[in-house]
Structure 1
Amino acid sequence: MTGKTHIMGGIAASLAFAQITNYEPVLLLGAGAVGAVIPDICHGGSKIGRAFPVVSKIINICFGHRTFTHSLIFLILAALLFNAFLPNEAISAGLLAGMASHLLLDMATKKGIKLFFPFKITVRLPLTTKTGSTVEYVVFAALSLLSVYFGMAAFGFYY
């Protein structure tokens, strides 16, 4: 999936999470958008990879693309680090919601992800698409609509 689809997925996931928590929706939303791009630090051409090229290169050399940073172990380590060092639980939760949405969206691509890294098992959803395809644009549109729907509820606009 492209960066914009991941960001929209992070926004939708964090606003959906806001429905079941008492966290501040604005913090969840912002952190969800940021968290949605974190797993692609392993790819130098990604939004975050271009922002942190040295870190991206090191991670890519050590692990490759869609392995460690697209795994459950990475999510668990990130949760431990966020909870230890971030002052606000809503920010931690939003970052993790965005990261989890990223993994789910990449499981919907033909390449899949190494969710159980270090094991070399590739995990894909039953229905997959190519990055940048028409189907991805439909997914982006659906995530946009979900974001509006969940956002209206999170910010007190009832439907």
Structure 2
Amino acid sequence: MTGNTHIVGGIAASLAFAQITNYNPVILVGAGIIGALIPDICHGGSTIGRKFPIVSRLVNGIFGHRSFTHSLVFLLLMGALLHSFLTNESITAGILIGMSSHFILDMATKNGIKLLFPLKVTVRFPLTTRTGGAVENLVFAALSLLSVYFGYEAFAGYF
């Protein structure tokens, strides 16, 4: 999936999570966007890879694309690090939700992800799509609509 689809996926997932928690939805969404981009640090052409090219080259050189940074091991490691160093649970939750949404969206692509890294098993859904294709545009539109719906519900009490 492209960076924009991951961003909208992180927004939709964060706002949906806001429905069932008391976390601040603004913080959840901001952190969800960041989390939705983090796994692609392993790809130099990604939104985050272009911002941090040296880190991106290093991570890609060690692990390759869609392996360690797209795995449950990385998600758990990030959760432990965030819990240790951040006091705001909304930020930690948002980042982890954004990362999870990224994993789910990339499992819908033909290349899938190495969710069970270090095992070399590729995980993908039975029906997949091509990154940047027409189906991804439909996914983007659906996630945008879900973001509006969940956003209305999350912020209804603020207005």
TM-score if structure 1 supplies the norm length? 0.97
Aligned to 1:93: 93
Aligned to 1:61: 61
Q: Which amino acid aligns with 2:138?
A: V
- Do residues 110 (structure 1) and 110 (structure 2) align? yes
- Distance (Å, rounded) in 1 between the aligned partners of 2:47 and 2:136: 18
- Counterparts of 1:5-154 in structure 2 under 5 Å? 5-154=5-154
Equivalent residue pairs, number: 157
| Structure 1 gaps, min length 5 | none
Q: Which amino acid aligns with 2:10?
A: G
Alignment deviations for residues 97-139 of structure 1 (CA, whole Å, 9 cap, x no partner): 0000000000000000000000000000111000000000000
Q: The residue matched to 1:30 in structure 2 has which SS?
A: helix
- Distance (Å, rounded) in 2 between the aligned partners of 1:26 and 1:126: 34
TM-score if structure 2 supplies the norm length? 0.97
| Structure 2 gaps, min length 5 | none
- Distance (Å, rounded) in 1 between the aligned partners of 2:134 and 2:75: 29
Q: Which amino acid aligns with 2:152?
A: M
- Distance (Å, rounded) in 1 between the aligned partners of 2:126 and 2:152: 31
Identity of aligned residues (%): 70
Kindly state the Cα deviation for residue 87 of structure 1 after the two structures are TM-superposed.
Answer: 2.2
Q: Which amino acid aligns with 2:150?
A: F
